[in-house]
Amino acid sequence: MRILIVTHQFAKNDGQGRVNYEIVRAALAAGHSVTMLSSSAADELSRHPRARFVKIESSRAPTRLLQYQVFAWRSWRWIRAHRDEFDVVHVNGFITWATADVNSVHFVHDGWYRCGFYPFRLFRSAREAYQVIYTRLNAYLEARAFRQARAVVAVSGKVRDEMRVSGVDARRLQVIYNGVDIDEFAPGPAERSRFGLPDAPFLFLFAGDLRIARKNLDTVLHALRDAPANAHLVVAADLRGNQRYPALAAELGVAERVHFLDFVRDMPALMRSVDAFVFPSRYEAMSLVLLEALAAALPVVTARTTGGAEVVGADCGLVLENPDDVAGIAAAIDYLASDPERSARMGQAARELARTLGWDVMAQRYLSLYEHVCATRSVALPEAAAAVVVDS
């Protein structure tokens, strides 16, 4: 097959970029040719003899809203001139004005707006007005892109349900879970001293972008106040210019039990050094860090609003209905910290679950979908095909 994939970057250190990176790797290994239309691509991909990297220059327009529109217009112009060169065109959400065969949905702006935890208001400040306009415009453009695609891939059952509510035809809608590197995040010896962490406590890890309130560290800190004293929290996040959460930890009287590490590059080593993972995000389409925690044999505490939580069973984690349930999170922390042996068994179950969610599994499902799109180009896609996708 001759495959065109459009995304902003093909990179291992980016969520959507990593998904597309792994699809390209699998496609090249299977003998297909791949063109990457993006602003950047990993060298090991672009140097492959059957790969082509077509660079869309990053825009210097003010605001991300305008920058993304410039990318969408430039990529549309290129695709319009080269569309006949490809058997399959795969895009990600609204990223181009061009029509695609396959559209992967990594975030649903309409779902975020309507989830009940959307924090911005149109008339409260200029910054919040921009956020509302950005969200609503993207929701409109995404809906248009989804209607035009022959196959729409939701990255979780949560996203699939949001897409159904927004009117996407179920016959074109499939679920392919994002993957995880089973080997990179394999459990192993702890290195607490390397990260300046204490030896004795039961350590919970929180990892996420603290510029985004929906990641929900504030509720975790409030829950820690009501959790047993042997439960400590490790926060791996960029704290530059953001002292809100250290101040909140001090205000709640838990500062000595919260270890702020700033940005951590070696996340696998950090995950090997803690006992559990806590991440009750208020909205997530599909959390890669949650899958990484499972692969690292960590029992998890999360919420239904976190994409990916749907795969977590009672044998490997605790899933709350409400991400702002302070008492529920505190009880979950107590449940894990009070019985380390039970938590270790849950971690082993988490590891076994993650083995079914490797990058190779995900990539092969995309390739099977590409082949199905090519084989049925003149007819509608079937409602489901177990050999092609996972539908939860």
- Tens digit of each residue's pLDDT (9 = 90 or more) over 164-187: 887 888 889 999 999 999 999 999
Across the range 23-30, mean pLDDT stands at 98
Q: What pLDDT is attached to residue 209?
A: 86
Kindly compute the dihedral angle of the four CA atoms of residues 342, 346, 347, 349, in this order, to the nearest 10 degrees: 140
Q: What pLDDT is attached to residue 379?
A: 56
- Is residue 160 within 8 A of residue 238, CB to CB? The reply is no
Domain co-membership, 249 together with 362: no
Residue 26 has pLDDT above 90, yes or no: yes
Assign residue 20 the CATH number of its domain: 3.40.50.2000
Q: What pLDDT is attached to residue 386?
A: 36
- Rounded mean pLDDT of the chain? 92
* Greater pLDDT, 389 or 323: 323
Rounded CA gap, 260 and 206, in Å?
10
Residue 191 has pLDDT above 90, yes or no: yes
289 residue type, one letter: V
Domain co-membership, 168 together with 215: no
- Whether residue 174 lies inside any domain: the answer is yes
Secondary structure in 3-state letters for 183-244: CCCCCCCCCHHHHCCCCCCEEEEEECCCCCHHHCHHHHHHHHHCCCCCEEEEEECCCCCCCH
> If DSSP codes are grouped into helix, strand and coil, which group holds residue 252?
coil
Domain co-membership, 272 together with 151: no
- Whether residue 365 lies inside any domain: the answer is yes
Rounded CA gap, 137 and 63, in Å?
14
Rounded CA gap, 132 and 358, in Å?
36
Across the range 114-127, mean pLDDT stands at 93
Query: Which pLDDT band holds residue 99 (cuts at 50, 70, 90)?
Result: very high
Q: What pLDDT is attached to residue 15?
A: 85
Q: What pLDDT is attached to residue 382?
A: 45
Q: Which two tokens stand for residue 144?
A: 């248009």
The pLDDT tens digits of the residues spanning 37-93 come to 999 999 999 999 999 999 999 899 999 999 999 999 999 999 999 999 999 999 999
Burial of 321 (0-12, 13-18, 19+ CB in 10 A): exposed
- Is residue 294 within 8 A of residue 316, CB to CB? The reply is yes
b/e burial code for range 350-380 (CB count within 10 A of at least 16 → b): bbebbeebbbebbbbbbbebbbbbeeeeeee
- Is residue 96 within 8 A of residue 13, CB to CB? The reply is no
Domain co-membership, 226 together with 169: no
- Whether residue 392 lies inside any domain: the answer is no
Domain co-membership, 57 together with 153: yes
Across the range 326-339, mean pLDDT stands at 97
Query: 153 pairs with which residues across the strands?
Result: 104, 174
Total domains in the chain come to: 2
Query: Which pLDDT band holds residue 385 (cuts at 50, 70, 90)?
Result: very low
| Continuous H helices in the chain | 15-29, 43-46, 64-82, 109-114, 126-148, 157-165, 217-225, 244-251, 267-272, 288-295, 326-337, 340-354, 359-375
Q: What pLDDT is attached to residue 239?
A: 83
Residue 319 has pLDDT above 50, yes or no: yes
- Whether residue 103 lies inside any domain: the answer is yes
- Locus of tokens 């007005």: 129
Kindly compute the dihedral angle of the four CA atoms of residues 345, 347, 352, 357, in this order, to the nearest 10 degrees: 160
Domain co-membership, 313 together with 198: yes
- Whether residue 381 lies inside any domain: the answer is no
Domain co-membership, 131 together with 157: yes
Comparing CA positions, the residue from 89, 80, 100, 210 lying closest to residue 147 is: 100
- Whether residue 58 lies inside any domain: the answer is yes
- Whether residue 237 lies inside any domain: the answer is yes
* Greater pLDDT, 383 or 359: 359
Domain co-membership, 329 together with 213: yes
Across the range 311-325, mean pLDDT stands at 96
Domain co-membership, 370 together with 342: no
Give the percent of the chain with pLDDT over 70.
96
Domain co-membership, 311 together with 367: no
Kindly compute the dihedral angle of the four CA atoms of residues 57, 60, 65, 66, in this order, to the nearest 10 degrees: -90
- Whether residue 134 lies inside any domain: the answer is yes
Write out the residue range of the structural domain in which residue 100 sits. Answer: 2-179+358-375
Domain co-membership, 168 together with 271: no
Q: What pLDDT is attached to residue 378?
A: 57
Run of H or E including 318: strand 317-320
Domain co-membership, 259 together with 315: yes
